[in-house]
Structure formats: structure tokens, C-alpha cells
Amino acid sequence: MPVWVLSQAYRGLVYERALWRILGTLVGAGLGLAFLHLPNPYLQLLGMALVVGVASALTHVFRGALSYLPMLAGITIGVVVLPSVLTPDASLDLALSRVECTLIGVLVTTLLCSRTTPRSQRKHYYERVRVLAADALGLAAQALGPSYDQPDLALFRRIRQEIVDLDSQARLLAAGSWDAYRRLPYVDAFLYAVIELLAASEVIVRQRERGLAPAADYERAVLEQAQRLQDGQPLRVLRKVAVRQEGQISLARLRRAMGQIQRAEEGLFAARAPARRGRHRFLTIPAISVDWPLATRTGLISGLAAFSAGGIAYALASPALELMAIGVCTFSIILGSMPRPQLMSRTMFTGIAVGVLVASFYRYVIQGYLVTDWEVIASVLPFLVIGGLLRANRPTSAWALDANMCFQLASQAGMAAVSWPIIMKQSLPLLAGSAVVCSAFFLLPRRTHPRGQALVRRVVREIYPLIRRSRPRLFRVWRGRVARQWVRLLHWMGEQTPQGLLSLINLGHGVVALKRLAKRGSEQQACVRLVCELLEGFEHQPQELAQQLQRISQSCADTVLAQAILDVAQSLQGAHAVLVYAYPPNAMPRAVETS
């Protein structure tokens, strides 16, 4: 069975998934054997359910191939505990033999697949990251040029999609290489710097709409640096303008974003990944972002499903329900680990149904004529070949995975032949267990908009510490966290992502700029304090607040501070769509959420 899940596109991923599968199997088996020493069967099932719930939740905490470890731990403990609880006389040896067969299968599959699987194309991937930064610089150059009011929306959408693709591939391509894992923070820094470039470009466009002008030759200089990145040459940060004239755009954020790209490029393309110190110390701080509500909910559902299935099977004293309980335990973890399980539930059930039906046919028609082990092996080979072809065929690939695994689980190759009623009695519970899980995820889907709204509200919560603290701390960490939320929202919603999230990022930058200008004098400090007081509850009435800030800027004697207030006002106007999406006007007003 492991061959169907360990066969991957890249050699490093084969090695790493094999490692986590072995460790997960050992952890699950060890915990399962420990729980079997508990005095009461229901306590044993409860311990199993707790591990299944925690393992299912951890699949949303760990990223990349590492999430395979808790998944296999949760699946294995069900394989060990359920047979032993339901038929304690003979099933412990069977459960242990299943664990042994899993380990044998992992080792054999890894040895066979690793030599024929190509290495990951990491160099090509890193070049794609650099080209992405070049495209973002091209968008920034357009904002500095005469056609700033005609944005290239196709280029922007392509950049946004490329960010999602590169982020989703980063940990898969790094699998199996310690050096590649050390470079992952620089990939993240590259992506966050690109998001910063997009946000800075939006600010430049807003300022030009107010009549401000960029410094001379900056468009050409930015295009030159974009071409350098396209050609594979290192980026050079543009020089700072000696004296910024009145009515001229501040390009400090653009230069800072270019500086982030330069440092990320140094780390990503170095002969050896640099140590996290010096100028790389803050750059490589990971932006950890876990959807704890989703992880908690998934863990509770999987744990409750596993305990209920095992408890029902034990209460009915029906060993025939063993496969049903194992199916509920296994498929609840697998489907629960997916971001949108409702999209895969029908496909998975199709594969399970095909696998169970073919296995029943095999047991009824073929199994009775088999005597020796070699005959058993020869009888299974045609099914494996056909299953492999279906798995390799793109239209049937998705459901063929589950069909192959369920065929091998339900065919019971090598066991004694039985009558048709017994075959049905043993096969239908597996189909019923998967039907319960798949229908539950299909009928109770993870809806797009509630989670999308929750992600936007998290960004809003991240802004409030900047507003309320006189000296915002750890701004670099804030920048990374908000960028990570931006990427997560794109992952989740795709083309349905509401407009204006970049404006929310610019709002945070604008607040920090105001706090710095407050140090210029008592009048500026009083003005900034007033603006921050007005920003309390900004998510509910962004347009009205933006108009109020525009009036305040007109009465401000400090022109630099007035422009900074206008930046905040325009950020609120730009974020109107995403704030209305997250806080609908017809909904009950929420209290300001803090963390």
C-alpha cells in the first residue's frame, strides 16, 4: 500500500515522506500498544480518539511533508487499537503484523522509487522567485511613469497567482535537503518583499493622484534593476534622493522593499545558506501563522468520529464493523487535513467504492482457487497493473489512489476463501464508514466566505497594536505576519479575494509613519493622537473616517504630517471593499477584537 502514497514527483519528497511515515507509524503503534494496557475498552478507545484528534489538528499546524507524521500516527493507532478492542483474542497479532507490513512497504518503496525519481528542480524554482521580483519592480516602474493611471491588471493578477504557486511549492521542493530548508526563510522574505513592492506601488499611485511627482529618472532606474533580476544579476538598491523637494513623492518604502529583495537574494543564491545573524537576523524571522480555530475544529470532529465509530462497534460486539471503524478513523484524518475536503469527498468515495467492489469480486471469483503464496501474488498483479495505469492517467488519478488502497485493504489477499454473505458482511462496513465521513464533509463544507472574513479580521487585529502603542514594536515581525495572512487569503479564496488588502497593509505603514512624525513637536503629537483616537473602530466606517481625516489634513500646518494623514485616509478608502466584506453593514456590529 505505501507505494501509492510515497511515489512522488521528486526524490527528496520520497525520502522525507518515507521518514515521516516510519516515525508516524512507530509513534502511533507505540501509543496504541500503551493504551491497550488500560483496564477498560472504552478508556482504550478514548485514548485512541484523543491521539486521532490531536494528530488531525496537527496536520493544519505543520507545513509541508512534516504534516505526514501526525497523519500516519493517527491512522496507525486506529489500526492497532480497534482490532484489539473488538476481537481481543486474535487481533493484536494481526494489528502488529499490519504495522510490520507498513514498515516493510515503506522501506521497499523508498528503495525502489528513490533511484528512478528525479531530483527537485530547486535552481529553476529560485530563478522563478527572482523573476517574480523583477515583475513586481516592473509594476512599480509603471507607477512611477506617465501611465500610472492605467495599471497593468493582467500583470498584477499574474504576480499574485505566482506568489501563491511559489509559496505552495516551497516546502515540497525543499523536502529531503537540509540546505534547502535553511534557504526557505529567504524564499519567504522574497515573497514578502514582493508584497511590500505591490503595496508601495499602490501608495505611489495614490500620491500621484494627489498631484505629487516622483524624482526624475526613477522610472528608468527601477526598470534597469528589474532587467538585472531578469538577467540573473544581483539587485542594486537605488540611491536616496539628497533633498526631497516639496510636492515630491517619498520613495523610502520602495527602497526598503528593494533592500529586502537584495538581502533575500544574497541568502537564497549564496553558495551556502548564511547564518541567521547580522543583516540577515530580522530578515529570516519566520512568520508563523496557524489557523488554530480550523485546527481545533478538525481535531474535535476527527476524535469524536473515531471514538463514536469504535464505541458503536464495541457496543454491538460486532467484529465485522472493524473495517467501518478503521475507515471512519482513517478517512476523517485524511479528509480533515485538506483545506477544502468537500471538493474531494465525492472523488474519494468514488475511489473507495470502486476499490471495495473490485475487492469483493476478487474474493468471490478468484480467491477460492488460490493455494500457494506465489499464486496469490500472481493473482494480485493484474489488479495492481491496472490500478497503476489508472493512477498514472490524469483524469482517473484522484480516485484511483483510494481505489487501489481500498482494494488492497478489502481484498484480504492470502486469507482463506469465504462465502458471498461473509464477503458482503466484511466489505460493506468499510464502504459505510467512508460514506458517513465523506457525506459529512460534503454536507457540512468549509465555506469560503466565513473563513475569508476571519482571515481579514485577523489582519485588522494586527493593526490595532500599531494604533494603540505610542512606539510600535517589532514592526518587521508585523510586516511578515500580515504578508503571510495576505498569502493565506489568496490560497483560500483565489479569484474571489476581495480588493483592498494591500490598502490594509498600507494603513499599518501609514500609522507607523504618523507615530514617527509625532516626535517632531507637541502640535504634531496632539494631531497624531487625535487621528489614532479616530481610528478606533475604523473597520466599520472606513469611508466616513477617511473623509474626516482629509478635513484634518487640510487644517494641519505641517505639510509632511498632512501628507501622511492623507496616506492613511486613502488607505482607508482603498480598503473599503475588503472591510465591508469582513464586516458587513447589515451584520451585528462586533466589538473591536484584540489579541
Q: Tell me the C-alpha distance between 278 and 286, whole Å.
A: 16
Nearest Cα to 191, choosing from 253, 292, 268, 244? Answer: 268
What is the DSSP-derived secondary structure letter of residue 536? Answer: T
Task: Domain ranges for the chain, please list them.
Answer: 1-120, 122-174+177-280, 341-445, 453-582
Integer-rounded Cα radius of gyration of the chain: 29
**117 and 11 Cβ atoms separated by less than 8 Å:** yes
Helix axes 68-86, 322-336, angle to 10 degrees: 170
**397 and 389 Cβ atoms separated by less than 8 Å:** no
Where do we find the cell 528512478?
116
What is the structure's pLDDT at 244?
61
Q: Tell me the C-alpha distance between 443 and 440, whole Å.
A: 5
Q: Tell me the C-alpha distance between 285 and 182, whole Å.
A: 12
Q: Tell me the C-alpha distance between 572 and 483, whole Å.
A: 18
Q: Tell me the C-alpha distance between 74 and 52, whole Å.
A: 5
What is the structure's pLDDT at 589?
43
Where do we find the cell 518515507?
18
**71 and 55 Cβ atoms separated by less than 8 Å:** yes
The CA distances from residue 561 to 93, 95, 233, 445, in Å, are: 76, 71, 38, 48
- pTM as predicted: 0.84
Q: In the structure grid, which three cell numbers stand for residue 188, read together?
A: 519567504
- Cα distance between the two ends of the chain: 45
Q: In the structure grid, which three cell numbers stand for residue 522, read together?
A: 507637541
Q: Tell me the C-alpha distance between 584 and 35, whole Å.
A: 49
The CA distances from residue 562 to 205, 342, 404, 507, in Å, are: 17, 50, 67, 15
Instruction: Classify each residue of 26-49 as buried b or exposed e, where b means 16 or more C-beta atoms within 10 Å of its C-beta.
Output: bbbbebbbebbeeeebeebbbbbb
Phi/psi for 220 (5° steps) reads -65, -40
Contacts with 293 (C-beta within 8 Å, 6 or more apart), sequence order:
454
Q: In the structure grid, which three cell numbers stand for residue 426, read together?
A: 466484511
Residue 398, SS3 per DSSP: helix
Helix axes 501-517, 475-493, angle to 10 degrees: 170
What is the structure's pLDDT at 518?
85
* 292 C-beta neighbours (distance < 10 Å), count: 11
**DSSP characters over 35-101:** HTTSSSHHHHHHHHHHHHHHHHHHTTTS-GGGGHHHHHHHHHHHHHHHHHHHSTTTHHHHHHHHHHH
Query: Residues 271-279: contacts with CB within 8 Å, 24+ apart?
Result: 272/179, 273/179, 273/182, 273/183, 273/186, 276/185
List the alpha helices (DSSP H) in 411-444: 420-443
Nearest Cα to 328, choosing from 403, 227, 430? Answer: 430
Along the 595 residues of the chain, how does pLDDT read in single tens digits?
777 766 777 788 888 888 888 899 899 989 998 898 888 889 999 999 999 999 999 998 888 888 889 999 999 898 888 888 887 776 577 777 878 887 888 888 888 877 777 788 888 999 999 999 999 999 999 988 888 888 888 999 999 999 999 998 888 888 888 888 888 888 988 999 999 999 999 999 898 888 888 877 788 888 899 999 888 888 888 877 656 667 778 888 888 899 889 988 888 888 877 665 555 555 544 555 677 888 898 999 999 999 999 998 888 887 678 778 888 888 899 988 888 888 888 999 999 999 999 999 998 888 888 878 888 889 989 998 999 899 888 889 889 888 988 888 888 887 788 888 888 888 888 888 888 888 888 888 877 788 888 889 988 998 998 898 877 666 777 888 888 888 989 988 888 889 999 999 999 999 998 988 888 888 888 898 999 999 999 999 899 999 999 999 888 888 888 888 999 999 999 999 999 999 988 754 443 333 3
Q: What is the 3-state secondary structure (H, E, C) of 263-297?
A: HHHHHHCCCCCCCCCHHHCCCCCCCCCCCHHHHHH
Nearest Cα to 353, choosing from 439, 444, 441? Answer: 439
Q: Tell me the C-alpha distance between 509 and 574, whole Å.
A: 14
